A and B are shown apart, each in its own frame.
Chain A
Amino acid sequence: MNVLSEAWGWLTTAANWHGSDGIPTRFLEHFEYSIEAVLLGALIAFPLGLLTGHTKRGGLVVTSLANVARALPTLGLVVLLVVLIGVKFRAVMIPLVALTIPPILLNTYEGVRNVDPQLTDAAKGMGLRPWQVLWRAEVPAAAPLILTGFQFAAVNAVANTAIAAYSSFGGLGRFVIDGLATTDYGEVAGGAILIVIAAILNLMFFAVLRRVLISPGLQPRKQATA
Protein backbone atom coordinates (compact mmCIF):
# COMPACT_ATOMS: atom_id res chain seq x y z
CA MET A 1 0.00 0.00 0.00
CA ASN A 2 1.31 3.38 -0.89
CA VAL A 3 0.92 6.49 1.21
CA LEU A 4 -1.84 7.95 -0.93
CA SER A 5 -4.14 5.00 -0.57
CA GLU A 6 -3.36 4.96 3.14
CA ALA A 7 -4.33 8.60 3.28
CA TRP A 8 -7.49 7.81 1.36
CA GLY A 9 -8.28 5.06 3.81
CA TRP A 10 -7.77 7.40 6.75
CA LEU A 11 -9.84 10.19 5.17
CA THR A 12 -12.73 7.84 4.45
CA THR A 13 -12.82 6.26 7.88
CA ALA A 14 -16.09 7.47 9.42
CA ALA A 15 -14.64 7.54 12.92
CA ASN A 16 -12.14 10.23 11.89
CA TRP A 17 -15.02 12.59 11.11
CA HIS A 18 -16.49 12.69 14.60
CA GLY A 19 -15.65 14.04 18.01
CA SER A 20 -13.40 16.71 19.43
CA ASP A 21 -10.44 15.47 17.41
CA GLY A 22 -12.42 14.71 14.26
CA ILE A 23 -11.67 16.33 10.91
CA PRO A 24 -14.53 18.94 10.93
CA THR A 25 -13.57 20.15 14.40
CA ARG A 26 -9.91 20.43 13.49
CA PHE A 27 -10.80 22.21 10.28
CA LEU A 28 -12.86 24.78 12.14
CA GLU A 29 -10.13 25.15 14.76
CA HIS A 30 -7.62 25.73 12.04
CA PHE A 31 -9.66 28.48 10.47
CA GLU A 32 -10.53 29.98 13.82
CA TYR A 33 -6.86 30.28 14.77
CA SER A 34 -5.90 31.61 11.35
CA ILE A 35 -8.68 34.17 11.27
CA GLU A 36 -7.93 35.30 14.79
CA ALA A 37 -4.27 35.64 13.98
CA VAL A 38 -5.01 37.73 10.88
CA LEU A 39 -7.52 39.93 12.69
CA LEU A 40 -5.23 40.54 15.65
CA GLY A 41 -2.33 41.22 13.30
CA ALA A 42 -4.50 43.59 11.28
CA LEU A 43 -5.53 45.42 14.41
CA ILE A 44 -1.91 46.40 14.90
CA ALA A 45 -0.55 46.52 11.36
CA PHE A 46 -3.39 48.11 9.38
CA PRO A 47 -3.78 51.36 11.35
CA LEU A 48 0.00 51.67 11.61
CA GLY A 49 0.34 51.13 7.86
CA LEU A 50 -2.38 53.69 7.13
CA LEU A 51 -0.86 56.26 9.44
CA THR A 52 2.68 55.92 8.12
CA GLY A 53 1.53 55.64 4.51
CA HIS A 54 -0.73 58.68 4.74
CA THR A 55 1.79 60.89 6.49
CA LYS A 56 4.70 59.36 4.55
CA ARG A 57 6.55 59.36 7.86
CA GLY A 58 8.00 56.51 9.89
CA GLY A 59 8.93 54.36 6.92
CA LEU A 60 12.10 53.18 8.67
CA VAL A 61 10.19 52.12 11.78
CA VAL A 62 7.69 50.23 9.66
CA THR A 63 10.23 48.35 7.61
CA SER A 64 12.40 47.53 10.64
CA LEU A 65 9.43 46.28 12.60
CA ALA A 66 8.28 44.17 9.68
CA ASN A 67 11.73 42.73 9.14
CA VAL A 68 12.10 41.79 12.80
CA ALA A 69 8.69 40.14 12.82
CA ARG A 70 9.54 38.31 9.62
CA ALA A 71 12.82 37.05 10.98
CA LEU A 72 11.21 35.35 13.99
CA PRO A 73 11.42 31.57 13.71
CA THR A 74 7.86 30.40 14.30
CA LEU A 75 8.66 27.04 15.75
CA GLY A 76 11.43 28.37 17.97
CA LEU A 77 9.17 31.08 19.27
CA VAL A 78 6.32 28.67 19.91
CA VAL A 79 8.58 26.33 21.88
CA LEU A 80 10.12 29.19 23.81
CA LEU A 81 6.74 30.63 24.75
CA VAL A 82 5.35 27.25 25.70
CA VAL A 83 8.35 26.73 27.95
CA LEU A 84 7.87 30.18 29.43
CA ILE A 85 4.10 30.34 29.85
CA GLY A 86 2.94 26.80 29.35
CA VAL A 87 0.63 25.30 26.74
CA LYS A 88 -1.71 28.22 26.44
CA PHE A 89 -3.54 29.78 23.55
CA ARG A 90 -1.33 32.86 23.88
CA ALA A 91 1.86 30.90 23.46
CA VAL A 92 0.83 29.93 19.98
CA MET A 93 -1.13 33.02 19.04
CA ILE A 94 1.74 35.45 19.63
CA PRO A 95 4.01 33.95 16.96
CA LEU A 96 1.12 33.55 14.56
CA VAL A 97 0.13 37.18 14.96
CA ALA A 98 3.74 38.23 14.61
CA LEU A 99 3.77 36.55 11.22
CA THR A 100 0.66 38.26 9.94
CA ILE A 101 1.95 41.72 10.80
CA PRO A 102 4.74 42.19 8.19
CA PRO A 103 2.73 41.68 5.00
CA ILE A 104 -0.22 43.76 6.19
CA LEU A 105 1.98 46.52 7.53
CA LEU A 106 4.33 46.71 4.54
CA ASN A 107 1.65 46.47 1.88
CA THR A 108 -0.63 49.00 3.53
CA TYR A 109 2.27 51.38 4.07
CA GLU A 110 3.65 51.01 0.55
CA GLY A 111 0.21 51.01 -1.04
CA VAL A 112 -0.98 54.18 0.61
CA ARG A 113 2.36 55.94 0.36
CA ASN A 114 2.60 55.32 -3.37
CA VAL A 115 -0.88 56.49 -4.31
CA ASP A 116 -0.53 58.97 -7.19
CA PRO A 117 0.25 62.30 -5.49
CA GLN A 118 -1.91 64.02 -8.13
CA LEU A 119 -4.88 62.06 -6.82
CA THR A 120 -4.36 63.06 -3.22
CA ASP A 121 -3.62 66.61 -4.27
CA ALA A 122 -6.84 66.84 -6.26
CA ALA A 123 -8.82 65.20 -3.45
CA LYS A 124 -7.48 67.62 -0.88
CA GLY A 125 -7.91 70.54 -3.27
CA MET A 126 -11.58 69.69 -3.74
CA GLY A 127 -12.16 70.05 -0.03
CA LEU A 128 -11.86 66.52 1.33
CA ARG A 129 -10.67 66.48 4.93
CA PRO A 130 -7.53 64.44 5.70
CA TRP A 131 -9.66 61.57 6.98
CA GLN A 132 -11.76 61.65 3.80
CA VAL A 133 -8.64 61.77 1.65
CA LEU A 134 -7.48 58.61 3.40
CA TRP A 135 -10.71 56.64 3.17
CA ARG A 136 -12.12 57.92 -0.12
CA ALA A 137 -8.97 58.26 -2.16
CA GLU A 138 -5.92 56.56 -0.68
CA VAL A 139 -7.40 53.34 0.69
CA PRO A 140 -9.56 52.55 -2.36
CA ALA A 141 -6.69 53.32 -4.71
CA ALA A 142 -4.29 51.19 -2.65
CA ALA A 143 -6.88 48.43 -2.15
CA PRO A 144 -5.30 45.90 -4.53
CA LEU A 145 -1.97 46.07 -2.70
CA ILE A 146 -3.55 46.12 0.76
CA LEU A 147 -5.64 43.09 -0.04
CA THR A 148 -2.55 41.27 -1.29
CA GLY A 149 -0.96 42.01 2.10
CA PHE A 150 -3.93 40.49 3.88
CA GLN A 151 -3.75 37.49 1.61
CA PHE A 152 -0.08 36.89 2.42
CA ALA A 153 -0.93 37.26 6.09
CA ALA A 154 -3.69 34.68 5.79
CA VAL A 155 -1.43 32.29 3.87
CA ASN A 156 1.16 32.66 6.63
CA ALA A 157 -1.44 32.10 9.29
CA VAL A 158 -2.89 28.98 7.68
CA ALA A 159 0.56 27.48 7.10
CA ASN A 160 1.94 28.31 10.52
CA THR A 161 -1.11 27.22 12.43
CA ALA A 162 -0.20 23.80 11.13
CA ILE A 163 3.33 24.14 12.49
CA ALA A 164 2.03 25.43 15.81
CA ALA A 165 0.27 22.09 16.37
CA TYR A 166 3.71 20.87 17.45
CA SER A 167 2.98 22.32 20.88
CA SER A 168 -0.15 20.27 21.59
CA PHE A 169 -2.16 22.99 19.84
CA GLY A 170 -5.28 22.17 17.81
CA GLY A 171 -5.90 22.60 14.11
CA LEU A 172 -5.10 20.38 11.14
CA GLY A 173 -1.44 20.16 12.08
CA ARG A 174 -2.49 17.84 14.91
CA PHE A 175 -3.09 14.98 12.48
CA VAL A 176 0.42 15.27 11.09
CA ILE A 177 2.06 15.50 14.51
CA ASP A 178 -0.08 12.75 16.04
CA GLY A 179 0.28 10.53 12.99
CA LEU A 180 4.06 10.87 13.16
CA ALA A 181 4.02 10.02 16.86
CA THR A 182 2.03 6.85 16.24
CA THR A 183 3.67 6.12 12.85
CA ASP A 184 0.22 6.24 11.24
CA TYR A 185 1.31 7.51 7.81
CA GLY A 186 -2.27 7.49 6.54
CA GLU A 187 -3.10 10.12 9.17
CA VAL A 188 0.07 12.12 8.38
CA ALA A 189 -0.67 12.23 4.66
CA GLY A 190 -4.41 12.75 5.19
CA GLY A 191 -3.64 15.69 7.49
CA ALA A 192 -1.22 17.14 4.94
CA ILE A 193 -3.90 16.93 2.24
CA LEU A 194 -6.36 18.73 4.50
CA ILE A 195 -3.81 21.49 5.10
CA VAL A 196 -3.39 21.92 1.35
CA ILE A 197 -7.16 22.08 0.95
CA ALA A 198 -7.33 24.72 3.67
CA ALA A 199 -4.69 26.76 1.83
CA ILE A 200 -6.62 26.46 -1.44
CA LEU A 201 -9.89 27.49 0.22
CA ASN A 202 -8.06 30.48 1.62
CA LEU A 203 -6.89 31.53 -1.84
CA MET A 204 -10.37 31.10 -3.24
CA PHE A 205 -11.77 33.25 -0.48
CA PHE A 206 -9.36 36.03 -1.41
CA ALA A 207 -10.17 35.73 -5.09
CA VAL A 208 -13.81 36.41 -4.20
CA LEU A 209 -12.85 39.23 -1.86
CA ARG A 210 -10.83 40.84 -4.63
CA ARG A 211 -13.82 40.84 -6.95
CA VAL A 212 -16.09 42.31 -4.31
CA LEU A 213 -13.80 44.89 -2.75
CA ILE A 214 -11.73 46.21 -5.63
CA SER A 215 -13.31 48.65 -8.05
CA PRO A 216 -13.40 47.62 -11.72
CA GLY A 217 -11.65 50.94 -12.31
CA LEU A 218 -8.54 49.44 -10.74
CA GLN A 219 -8.58 46.25 -12.78
CA PRO A 220 -7.68 47.67 -16.16
CA ARG A 221 -6.60 44.52 -17.91
CA LYS A 222 -9.72 42.58 -17.06
CA GLN A 223 -11.92 45.48 -18.07
CA ALA A 224 -10.13 46.25 -21.29
CA THR A 225 -10.78 42.80 -22.66
CA ALA A 226 -14.32 42.62 -21.30
Chain B
Amino acid sequence: MISFQQVGKTYPDGTVAVAATDLTADSGRITVLVGPSGSGKTTLLRMVNRMIEPTSGSILIDGVDVRSKPAPELRRGIGYVIQNAGLFPHRTVLANVMTVPRLLGWSKEKARERAMELLLTVGLEADHAKRYPFQLSGGQQQRVGVARALAADPPVLLMDEPFSAVDPVVRKDLQTELLRIQSELEKTILFVTHDIDEAILLGDRVAVLNTGGTLEQFDTPSELLAHPKNEFVEGFLGVDRGVRRLSFFSSGAVPLRPEPVVAVDAPPQEVLARKGTQPWLLVVDAETKPLGWLPAQQVPADGDLSRVPAADLVSYGHAFTVEAESLRAALDSAVLSPSSRAVGVDADGRVVGVASVEELVPAIRAAQDGSSPENGR
Protein backbone atom coordinates (compact mmCIF):
# COMPACT_ATOMS: atom_id res chain seq x y z
CA MET B 1 0.00 0.00 0.00
CA ILE B 2 1.30 3.42 -0.94
CA SER B 3 -0.04 6.31 1.12
CA PHE B 4 0.46 9.91 0.23
CA GLN B 5 0.00 12.10 3.27
CA GLN B 6 -0.43 15.77 2.54
CA VAL B 7 2.18 15.41 -0.18
CA GLY B 8 2.99 18.60 -2.04
CA LYS B 9 5.62 19.74 -4.50
CA THR B 10 6.49 23.28 -5.38
CA TYR B 11 9.41 23.57 -7.82
CA PRO B 12 12.14 26.11 -7.10
CA ASP B 13 10.71 28.42 -9.79
CA GLY B 14 7.47 28.60 -7.83
CA THR B 15 5.41 26.19 -9.94
CA VAL B 16 3.01 24.27 -7.77
CA ALA B 17 3.08 20.86 -9.44
CA VAL B 18 1.26 19.00 -6.68
CA ALA B 19 -0.95 20.68 -4.09
CA ALA B 20 -1.10 18.97 -0.67
CA THR B 21 -2.55 15.57 -1.60
CA ASP B 22 -3.85 12.61 0.36
CA LEU B 23 -4.14 9.43 -1.61
CA THR B 24 -3.91 5.71 -0.95
CA ALA B 25 -2.97 3.14 -3.57
CA ASP B 26 -4.19 -0.24 -2.34
CA SER B 27 -1.95 -3.28 -2.31
CA GLY B 28 -2.32 -5.63 -5.24
CA ARG B 29 -4.40 -3.11 -7.17
CA ILE B 30 -3.89 -0.75 -10.08
CA THR B 31 -4.30 2.87 -9.07
CA VAL B 32 -4.36 5.23 -12.03
CA LEU B 33 -3.40 8.89 -11.95
CA VAL B 34 -5.11 10.62 -14.84
CA GLY B 35 -5.33 14.25 -15.83
CA PRO B 36 -4.39 16.76 -18.50
CA SER B 37 -0.77 17.50 -19.29
CA GLY B 38 0.90 19.47 -16.51
CA SER B 39 -1.46 18.30 -13.79
CA GLY B 40 1.40 16.90 -11.71
CA LYS B 41 0.94 13.18 -12.46
CA THR B 42 4.59 12.53 -13.19
CA THR B 43 5.70 14.60 -10.22
CA LEU B 44 3.38 12.68 -7.91
CA LEU B 45 4.59 9.34 -9.25
CA ARG B 46 8.29 10.19 -9.12
CA MET B 47 8.07 11.27 -5.51
CA VAL B 48 7.38 7.63 -4.61
CA ASN B 49 10.82 6.43 -5.70
CA ARG B 50 12.39 9.74 -4.72
CA MET B 51 13.35 10.75 -8.22
CA ILE B 52 11.74 13.97 -6.97
CA GLU B 53 11.65 14.99 -3.32
CA PRO B 54 8.36 16.44 -2.03
CA THR B 55 8.41 19.89 -0.50
CA SER B 56 5.78 18.87 2.03
CA GLY B 57 4.14 15.78 3.48
CA SER B 58 5.35 12.21 3.38
CA ILE B 59 4.92 9.02 1.40
CA LEU B 60 4.71 5.63 3.06
CA ILE B 61 4.99 2.22 1.45
CA ASP B 62 3.35 -0.38 3.68
CA GLY B 63 3.69 2.04 6.56
CA VAL B 64 7.38 2.78 6.04
CA ASP B 65 8.47 6.26 5.03
CA VAL B 66 10.28 6.17 1.67
CA ARG B 67 12.92 8.43 3.18
CA SER B 68 13.93 5.81 5.72
CA LYS B 69 16.54 4.26 3.42
CA PRO B 70 18.97 5.59 0.82
CA ALA B 71 17.29 6.38 -2.50
CA PRO B 72 19.19 3.84 -4.67
CA GLU B 73 18.32 1.07 -2.24
CA LEU B 74 14.66 2.13 -2.16
CA ARG B 75 14.52 2.22 -5.97
CA ARG B 76 15.85 -1.32 -6.35
CA GLY B 77 12.73 -2.48 -4.54
CA ILE B 78 10.34 -0.55 -6.80
CA GLY B 79 9.71 -1.35 -10.44
CA TYR B 80 9.88 1.68 -12.73
CA VAL B 81 8.58 1.86 -16.30
CA ILE B 82 8.70 5.00 -18.42
CA GLN B 83 7.31 6.11 -21.75
CA ASN B 84 10.12 5.10 -24.10
CA ALA B 85 11.34 2.24 -21.93
CA GLY B 86 14.80 3.80 -21.49
CA LEU B 87 16.55 0.52 -22.23
CA PHE B 88 20.36 0.35 -22.20
CA PRO B 89 21.11 0.55 -25.94
CA HIS B 90 24.47 -1.17 -25.54
CA ARG B 91 23.11 -4.17 -23.69
CA THR B 92 21.14 -7.11 -25.00
CA VAL B 93 17.51 -7.53 -24.03
CA LEU B 94 18.51 -10.24 -21.57
CA ALA B 95 21.21 -8.11 -19.95
CA ASN B 96 18.73 -5.24 -19.67
CA VAL B 97 16.27 -7.41 -17.77
CA MET B 98 19.05 -8.74 -15.54
CA THR B 99 20.04 -5.25 -14.37
CA VAL B 100 18.29 -4.97 -11.02
CA PRO B 101 18.83 -8.60 -9.91
CA ARG B 102 22.53 -8.12 -10.64
CA LEU B 103 22.55 -4.85 -8.67
CA LEU B 104 21.00 -6.77 -5.82
CA GLY B 105 23.84 -9.29 -5.95
CA TRP B 106 22.07 -12.26 -7.53
CA SER B 107 24.33 -14.75 -9.30
CA LYS B 108 24.54 -14.47 -13.09
CA GLU B 109 22.82 -17.83 -13.54
CA LYS B 110 19.92 -17.01 -11.27
CA ALA B 111 19.48 -13.56 -12.81
CA ARG B 112 19.58 -14.99 -16.32
CA GLU B 113 17.06 -17.70 -15.50
CA ARG B 114 14.73 -15.14 -13.99
CA ALA B 115 15.13 -12.79 -16.95
CA MET B 116 14.31 -15.52 -19.46
CA GLU B 117 11.22 -16.44 -17.50
CA LEU B 118 10.08 -12.83 -17.46
CA LEU B 119 10.57 -12.32 -21.18
CA LEU B 120 8.07 -15.10 -21.71
CA THR B 121 5.74 -13.61 -19.10
CA VAL B 122 5.58 -10.31 -20.97
CA GLY B 123 4.89 -12.07 -24.25
CA LEU B 124 8.32 -12.04 -25.88
CA GLU B 125 10.08 -15.06 -27.30
CA ALA B 126 13.30 -16.67 -26.09
CA ASP B 127 15.21 -15.57 -29.17
CA HIS B 128 14.49 -11.91 -28.42
CA ALA B 129 16.87 -12.28 -25.48
CA LYS B 130 20.04 -11.95 -27.56
CA ARG B 131 18.85 -8.92 -29.48
CA TYR B 132 19.72 -5.30 -28.86
CA PRO B 133 16.99 -2.74 -28.17
CA PHE B 134 17.27 -1.10 -31.61
CA GLN B 135 16.31 -4.44 -33.14
CA LEU B 136 12.90 -4.36 -31.42
CA SER B 137 9.70 -2.50 -32.24
CA GLY B 138 8.46 0.16 -29.85
CA GLY B 139 5.90 -2.22 -28.39
CA GLN B 140 8.49 -4.92 -27.84
CA GLN B 141 10.85 -2.44 -26.17
CA GLN B 142 8.03 -1.50 -23.85
CA ARG B 143 7.51 -5.16 -22.97
CA VAL B 144 11.20 -5.43 -22.15
CA GLY B 145 10.80 -2.34 -19.98
CA VAL B 146 8.02 -4.07 -18.06
CA ALA B 147 10.05 -7.28 -17.74
CA ARG B 148 13.02 -5.30 -16.46
CA ALA B 149 10.85 -3.56 -13.87
CA LEU B 150 9.48 -6.91 -12.68
CA ALA B 151 12.84 -8.70 -12.62
CA ALA B 152 13.57 -8.51 -8.92
CA ASP B 153 9.91 -9.17 -8.11
CA PRO B 154 9.25 -5.80 -6.46
CA PRO B 155 5.88 -5.45 -4.73
CA VAL B 156 5.39 -1.96 -6.13
CA LEU B 157 5.41 -0.87 -9.77
CA LEU B 158 5.47 2.72 -10.97
CA MET B 159 4.45 3.24 -14.60
CA ASP B 160 4.59 6.68 -16.24
CA GLU B 161 2.62 6.71 -19.50
CA PRO B 162 4.23 3.40 -20.46
CA PHE B 163 2.01 2.83 -23.48
CA SER B 164 1.57 6.39 -24.76
CA ALA B 165 4.23 6.24 -27.45
CA VAL B 166 3.00 3.13 -29.26
CA ASP B 167 0.27 2.93 -31.87
CA PRO B 168 -3.30 2.21 -30.74
CA VAL B 169 -3.39 -1.44 -31.82
CA VAL B 170 -0.18 -2.28 -29.97
CA ARG B 171 -1.34 -0.20 -27.01
CA LYS B 172 -4.49 -2.32 -26.77
CA ASP B 173 -2.34 -5.48 -26.70
CA LEU B 174 -0.05 -4.07 -24.04
CA GLN B 175 -3.01 -3.03 -21.90
CA THR B 176 -4.59 -6.47 -22.12
CA GLU B 177 -1.25 -8.06 -21.36
CA LEU B 178 -0.74 -5.85 -18.32
CA LEU B 179 -4.14 -6.87 -16.95
CA ARG B 180 -3.31 -10.52 -17.51
CA ILE B 181 0.07 -10.20 -15.78
CA GLN B 182 -1.49 -8.24 -12.96
CA SER B 183 -4.15 -10.91 -12.39
CA GLU B 184 -1.30 -13.35 -11.75
CA LEU B 185 1.19 -11.17 -9.92
CA GLU B 186 -1.08 -8.78 -7.99
CA LYS B 187 1.43 -5.95 -7.76
CA THR B 188 0.69 -2.60 -6.21
CA ILE B 189 0.72 -0.52 -9.37
CA LEU B 190 0.67 3.25 -9.67
CA PHE B 191 -0.05 4.03 -13.31
CA VAL B 192 0.07 7.47 -14.91
CA THR B 193 -1.80 8.30 -18.11
CA HIS B 194 -3.47 11.27 -19.76
CA ASP B 195 -5.88 8.94 -21.54
CA ILE B 196 -9.17 8.58 -19.66
CA ASP B 197 -10.11 5.42 -21.58
CA GLU B 198 -6.87 3.78 -20.52
CA ALA B 199 -7.51 4.90 -16.94
CA ILE B 200 -10.97 3.36 -16.95
CA LEU B 201 -9.81 0.17 -18.59
CA LEU B 202 -6.86 -0.45 -16.28
CA GLY B 203 -7.70 1.22 -12.99
CA ASP B 204 -9.17 -0.48 -9.98
CA ARG B 205 -9.33 3.07 -8.73
CA VAL B 206 -8.74 6.26 -10.65
CA ALA B 207 -7.47 9.59 -9.33
CA VAL B 208 -8.42 12.51 -11.57
CA LEU B 209 -5.96 15.38 -11.27
CA ASN B 210 -6.40 18.95 -12.42
CA THR B 211 -3.91 21.63 -13.40
CA GLY B 212 -2.08 22.87 -10.35
CA GLY B 213 -1.87 19.35 -9.01
CA THR B 214 -5.22 19.22 -7.29
CA LEU B 215 -6.99 15.92 -6.81
CA GLU B 216 -10.52 16.34 -8.15
CA GLN B 217 -11.89 12.86 -7.52
CA PHE B 218 -10.63 9.46 -6.44
CA ASP B 219 -13.02 6.61 -7.13
CA THR B 220 -13.60 3.35 -8.92
CA PRO B 221 -14.05 3.81 -12.68
CA SER B 222 -17.71 2.93 -12.40
CA GLU B 223 -18.36 5.48 -9.67
CA LEU B 224 -16.45 8.07 -11.64
CA LEU B 225 -18.63 7.47 -14.69
CA ALA B 226 -21.83 7.38 -12.66
CA HIS B 227 -21.17 10.28 -10.34
CA PRO B 228 -18.51 12.71 -11.49
CA LYS B 229 -18.03 15.13 -8.61
CA ASN B 230 -17.78 18.28 -10.64
CA GLU B 231 -17.78 19.78 -14.10
CA PHE B 232 -14.08 19.28 -14.58
CA VAL B 233 -14.30 15.53 -14.00
CA GLU B 234 -17.45 15.27 -16.09
CA GLY B 235 -15.80 17.14 -18.94
CA PHE B 236 -12.70 15.03 -18.69
CA LEU B 237 -14.72 11.81 -18.84
CA GLY B 238 -16.23 12.79 -22.18
CA VAL B 239 -19.72 12.62 -23.59
CA ASP B 240 -20.48 8.90 -23.63
CA ARG B 241 -19.77 8.09 -20.00
CA GLY B 242 -23.27 6.60 -19.56
CA VAL B 243 -22.70 3.98 -22.21
CA ARG B 244 -19.11 3.39 -21.11
CA ARG B 245 -20.24 2.73 -17.56
CA LEU B 246 -22.31 -0.20 -18.78
CA SER B 247 -19.07 -2.09 -19.25
CA PHE B 248 -18.95 -2.47 -15.47
CA PHE B 249 -22.23 -4.39 -15.28
CA SER B 250 -22.71 -8.04 -16.07
CA SER B 251 -24.99 -9.01 -18.91
CA GLY B 252 -26.48 -11.67 -16.62
CA ALA B 253 -29.53 -9.51 -15.99
CA VAL B 254 -30.47 -9.24 -19.66
CA PRO B 255 -33.83 -10.96 -20.28
CA LEU B 256 -33.10 -13.40 -23.10
CA ARG B 257 -35.97 -14.94 -25.04
CA PRO B 258 -35.55 -18.32 -26.74
CA GLU B 259 -38.71 -18.04 -28.92
CA PRO B 260 -37.11 -16.37 -31.96
CA VAL B 261 -34.37 -19.01 -32.05
CA VAL B 262 -34.96 -21.83 -34.54
CA ALA B 263 -32.69 -24.62 -35.66
CA VAL B 264 -31.99 -24.80 -39.37
CA ASP B 265 -33.35 -28.38 -39.35
CA ALA B 266 -36.44 -27.60 -37.23
CA PRO B 267 -39.78 -29.20 -38.28
CA PRO B 268 -41.57 -26.95 -40.82
CA GLN B 269 -44.71 -26.59 -38.74
CA GLU B 270 -42.68 -25.26 -35.84
CA VAL B 271 -40.91 -22.78 -38.12
CA LEU B 272 -44.23 -21.60 -39.52
CA ALA B 273 -45.66 -21.22 -36.03
CA ARG B 274 -42.72 -19.02 -34.98
CA LYS B 275 -42.99 -17.01 -38.15
CA GLY B 276 -46.47 -15.98 -37.10
CA THR B 277 -45.33 -14.50 -33.78
CA GLN B 278 -41.79 -13.16 -34.41
CA PRO B 279 -40.71 -10.46 -36.87
CA TRP B 280 -37.15 -11.92 -36.93
CA LEU B 281 -35.98 -15.51 -36.54
CA LEU B 282 -32.45 -16.36 -35.48
CA VAL B 283 -31.38 -19.44 -37.41
CA VAL B 284 -28.94 -21.68 -35.57
CA ASP B 285 -27.05 -24.78 -36.66
CA ALA B 286 -27.27 -28.30 -35.20
CA GLU B 287 -25.03 -27.24 -32.32
CA THR B 288 -27.21 -24.15 -31.63
CA LYS B 289 -24.47 -21.84 -32.86
CA PRO B 290 -25.86 -18.73 -34.59
CA LEU B 291 -25.98 -18.61 -38.40
CA GLY B 292 -27.89 -15.37 -39.00
CA TRP B 293 -31.17 -13.53 -38.83
CA LEU B 294 -34.04 -14.20 -41.17
CA PRO B 295 -36.88 -11.66 -41.52
CA ALA B 296 -40.22 -13.43 -40.99
CA GLN B 297 -41.50 -12.50 -44.46
CA GLN B 298 -38.57 -14.35 -46.05
CA VAL B 299 -39.28 -17.66 -44.36
CA PRO B 300 -40.19 -20.15 -47.15
CA ALA B 301 -43.91 -20.92 -47.39
CA ASP B 302 -43.26 -24.61 -46.70
CA GLY B 303 -41.24 -23.76 -43.55
CA ASP B 304 -38.13 -25.61 -44.77
CA LEU B 305 -35.23 -23.49 -43.54
CA SER B 306 -32.58 -25.76 -45.06
CA ARG B 307 -33.60 -24.35 -48.48
CA VAL B 308 -32.68 -20.79 -47.48
CA PRO B 309 -29.30 -19.85 -49.01
CA ALA B 310 -26.73 -18.76 -46.43
CA ALA B 311 -26.40 -15.45 -48.27
CA ASP B 312 -30.02 -14.58 -47.48
CA LEU B 313 -29.36 -14.70 -43.74
CA VAL B 314 -28.68 -11.28 -42.23
CA SER B 315 -25.48 -11.02 -40.21
CA TYR B 316 -25.98 -10.94 -36.47
CA GLY B 317 -22.93 -8.69 -36.02
CA HIS B 318 -21.39 -10.14 -32.92
CA ALA B 319 -22.85 -12.15 -30.08
CA PHE B 320 -22.21 -11.42 -26.40
CA THR B 321 -21.25 -14.03 -23.83
CA VAL B 322 -23.86 -14.06 -21.09
CA GLU B 323 -22.47 -13.17 -17.63
CA ALA B 324 -18.85 -13.04 -18.80
CA GLU B 325 -19.41 -9.97 -20.94
CA SER B 326 -20.90 -6.67 -19.90
CA LEU B 327 -24.17 -4.88 -20.54
CA ARG B 328 -22.18 -2.67 -22.87
CA ALA B 329 -21.31 -5.69 -25.03
CA ALA B 330 -24.99 -6.71 -25.03
CA LEU B 331 -26.11 -3.24 -26.05
CA ASP B 332 -23.45 -3.11 -28.73
CA SER B 333 -24.56 -6.48 -30.06
CA ALA B 334 -28.12 -5.20 -30.41
CA VAL B 335 -27.15 -1.86 -31.93
CA LEU B 336 -24.88 -3.45 -34.53
CA SER B 337 -27.40 -5.99 -35.74
CA PRO B 338 -29.86 -4.98 -38.52
CA SER B 339 -32.52 -6.80 -36.48
CA SER B 340 -31.79 -4.50 -33.48
CA ARG B 341 -31.53 -7.65 -31.43
CA ALA B 342 -28.63 -8.86 -29.32
CA VAL B 343 -27.61 -12.51 -29.44
CA GLY B 344 -26.57 -13.99 -26.11
CA VAL B 345 -24.35 -17.08 -26.19
CA ASP B 346 -22.82 -19.32 -23.53
CA ALA B 347 -19.12 -19.88 -23.04
CA ASP B 348 -19.13 -22.45 -25.86
CA GLY B 349 -20.79 -20.07 -28.28
CA ARG B 350 -24.22 -21.76 -28.15
CA VAL B 351 -27.17 -19.42 -28.34
CA VAL B 352 -28.98 -18.88 -25.04
CA GLY B 353 -31.52 -16.41 -26.35
CA VAL B 354 -32.00 -12.99 -27.90
CA ALA B 355 -33.07 -9.58 -26.65
CA SER B 356 -34.16 -6.48 -28.56
CA VAL B 357 -32.85 -3.02 -27.76
CA GLU B 358 -36.18 -2.26 -26.03
CA GLU B 359 -35.84 -5.38 -23.90
CA LEU B 360 -32.34 -4.32 -22.84
CA VAL B 361 -33.54 -0.99 -21.52
CA PRO B 362 -34.91 -2.23 -18.16
CA ALA B 363 -31.59 -4.00 -17.45
CA ILE B 364 -29.70 -0.82 -18.33
CA ARG B 365 -32.07 1.25 -16.20
CA ALA B 366 -31.54 -1.08 -13.26
CA ALA B 367 -27.79 -0.82 -13.68
CA GLN B 368 -27.84 2.99 -13.77
CA ASP B 369 -30.07 3.14 -10.70
CA GLY B 370 -28.27 0.43 -8.76
CA SER B 371 -25.64 1.69 -6.38
CA SER B 372 -22.74 -0.50 -7.45
CA PRO B 373 -21.78 -2.67 -10.39
CA GLU B 374 -21.79 -6.44 -10.11
CA ASN B 375 -18.51 -7.24 -11.75
CA GLY B 376 -15.07 -5.70 -11.56
CA ARG B 377 -14.51 -4.64 -15.10
Contacts and interface: CB of A to CB of B under 8 A. Distances in A.
Interface in A186-226: 214-218, 220, 223-224
A118 interface: yes
Interface stretch (B76-84, B116-124, B189-197): B76-84
A126 B73 CA distance: 9
B103 A128 contact: yes
Interface residues of B, number: 31
B69 to A, nearest CB: 11
Contacts of B135: 223-224
User: Which residue among A121, A122, A123 has the maximum number of chain B CB atoms within 10 Å of its CB?
Assistant: A122
Contacts of B103: 126-128, 132
A125 B85 CA distance: 12
B132 A125 contact: no
A118 B75 contact: no
A141 interface: yes
B181 interface: no
A119 B86 contact: yes
B80 A126 contact: yes
A224 B286 CA distance: 54
A9 to B, nearest CB: 51
A21 B321 CA distance: 93
B260 to A, nearest CB: 57
Nearest to B86: A122
B90 interface: yes
User: Which bracket fits the contact residues of A?
Assistant: 20 to 34
Given A215-B90, A217-B89, A126 B75 contact: yes
Contact of A127 (B73, B86, B132): B73
A217 B86 contact: no
Q: Is the interface of A mostly helix, strand, loop or mixed?
A: helix
A116 interface: yes
B201 interface: no
Given A127-B103, A217-B134, A122 B80 contact: yes
Contact of A121 (B51, B133, B149): B51
A136 B134 CA distance: 18
Nearest to B88: A137
Contacts of A215: 89-91, 132
A137 B88 CA distance: 7
A125 B88 CA distance: 13
A70 interface: no
B132 A223 contact: yes
B49 interface: yes
Contacts of B100: 126-127
Interface of A: 116, 118-119, 121-129, 132, 136-137, 140-141, 143, 214-218, 220, 223-224
5 contacts: A126-B80, A141-B90, A143-B90, A215-B91, A217-B92
Q: Shortest 4 CB-CB distances between A and B: which pairs?
A: A122-B86, A217-B132, A127-B76, A215-B90
Given A122-B80, A214-B90, A216-B132, 9 more contacts: A122-B86, A124-B75, A125-B51, A126-B76, A126-B103, A137-B88, A141-B89, A143-B90, A223-B132
